[in-house]
Structure 1
Amino acid sequence: MKLPEHVYKTMEYISTKGNVYLVGGAIRNTILNLPISDYDLCTDVPLEQLFPDKKIMKNDNREIIFLNDQNIELSTMKGNTILEDLSHRDFTMNAIAMDINGNIIDPYQGQKDIQNKKIKTISNECFTQDPCRILRAIRFSCELDFEIVDDITEYKDLLKTIKTERIREEFYKILLLNPGKIEEYKDIFFVFLPELNCEIVQNNPYHIYNIFKHIIETTKHTPPVLELRLAALFHDIGKVKCKTTKNGIDHFYGHDKISSQMFMKIAKRLKIDHKTTNKVNTLILNHEFNLYFSTKAWTRRILKYDLDIEQLFLLRKADISAQNPIYLNRLEDYDKKEKEIIQLAKKKNIKIKGDYFVSKDVEPKNIGKILRELQTKVLLGQIENEEGALKQYADQRYRKYYRNNE
Structure 2
Amino acid sequence: MTPRYRLFLLCGALTMATACAYARGFRLEGRIEGLQAGDTLRFERILLPSWKYAPGFDVVVRKPGAFRYRGKSEHDRYYLMTYRPKAGRAAAGDRGGKPVIVRPGDRIDMTGSADAIYYCRLGGGIYDEPALSSLLAVDDSLGRIRGRYLENAREASERNDAAASREWSEKFSRFYDGNPGVDRKNMLRKAYEAANPHGSLYLLIDKIPMLSYTPAKEAHKAYETLSEGLKKSYFGRMYADCMARMEQLAEGKPAPDFTLVTTEGRTVTKADFKDRYLLLYHWGLCPGSIYIDRQVRDLFEKYREKGLQVVGLTESIADIRSVYESLPAGEKTPSAGVDDIRPVLAGMLEHGWIEAELETGHPENRQIMEAYAIEGWPFFVLIGPDGTIQARNYTNAFYQAKKILGGEPGGTAAE
TM-score, structure 1 as length reference: 0.26
* Structure number having the greater helix percentage: 1
TM-score, structure 2 as length reference: 0.26
* Structure with the larger RCO, 1 or 2 (CA within 8 Å, 6+ apart): 2
Answer with 1 or 2: which has the greater Rg.
Answer: 1
